[in-house]
Amino acid sequence: MDWSTFFEVHKDLPREGPGTAEDVVWATGLAGLPEGAVICDAAAGPGADVEVLAQAVPGARVLAFDKQEGFVAQMRARFLDTPDVSVQRADLAETADLPRVPFDMIWCAGALYFLGLEHGLEVMRGALKPGAVLAFSEPCHFTDTPGPEACAFWEGYPTRNRLGIVAAVTAAGYEILGTRDVSDAGWEAYYQPMEARIETLRAQGDARLTDMLDLCAKEAEDWRAVRSETGYLLTVARRVS
């Protein structure tokens, strides 16, 4: 991946993965958070979900982090005047990097799988207090017989079905509070602004960007072709011990 052209195409998009505000409201509702809850948005990208997390319960505080400096800078600017939100750079894969705060909830949209499901669940468990809640979206096959295009969409990631994800979460020491598929509207909320940016950049005719523009456009097209077979499962689960 050429990250410099990737970030030129993805610059200033409202979100970097599929999801809606309603997903966040659903998950925080299931979590039954206390007033003044401390919530982490792990791998928050440009921070699309942060405001809704901060409104989950009175007095909620949100710590949002991401590995990429560009997204961290975007969030710092976005939440400069929001005292209940703090932003930092941290790498999920570096345990020493992770914020040492006993979170009531960790929200992790479209990123836990970069660590692999089992390892990601273990890392998150370590950052939650007993009884606290993890909500995350994970690649999921919605059928037991996904076609080659649906499998190829996740580029070799060992994508499971809904039952497989639930089994892994339970085995990792969590109690499932709820699951649901991320809706097509959630995917379009990611892809449509990206496609608008692709059009703008194509019109500017910068040949350096052509390959990345094609790659990003293809991802959206590929998802539309396989969306009935594969997507994200959003899971809300409580750390049991």
Residues that bind ligand SAM (CB under 6 A): 15-17, 19, 43-45, 48, 66-68, 71, 91-93, 109-111, 114
Q: How many helices (H) and strands (E) are present in the chain, helices listed first? A: 9, 8
Query: Which is nearer to ligand SAM, 113 or 174 (by Cβ)?
Result: 113
The residue sitting closest to ligand SAM, measured at its beta carbon, is 45
Rounded Cα–Cα distance for residues 82 and 70 (Å): 19
Q: How far is CA 9 from the centre of its chain?
A: 19
Give Cα separations from 240 to 28, 134, 140, 161, 174 (angstroms): 17, 11, 24, 23, 5
Instruction: Say which residue the tokens 């809640």 belong to.
Output: 133
Query: Which is nearer to ligand SAM, 52 or 132 (by Cβ)?
Result: 52
Query: Which is nearer to ligand SAM, 122 or 170 (by Cβ)?
Result: 122
CA dihedral sign, ordered 112, 35, 183, 49: negative
Q: Cβ of residue 86: shortest distance to ligand SAM, in angstroms?
A: 16
Q: Cβ of residue 25: shortest distance to ligand SAM, in angstroms?
A: 15
Q: Cβ of residue 113: shortest distance to ligand SAM, in angstroms?
A: 9
Q: Cβ of residue 207: shortest distance to ligand SAM, in angstroms?
A: 26
Query: Which is nearer to ligand SAM, 3 or 206 (by Cβ)?
Result: 3
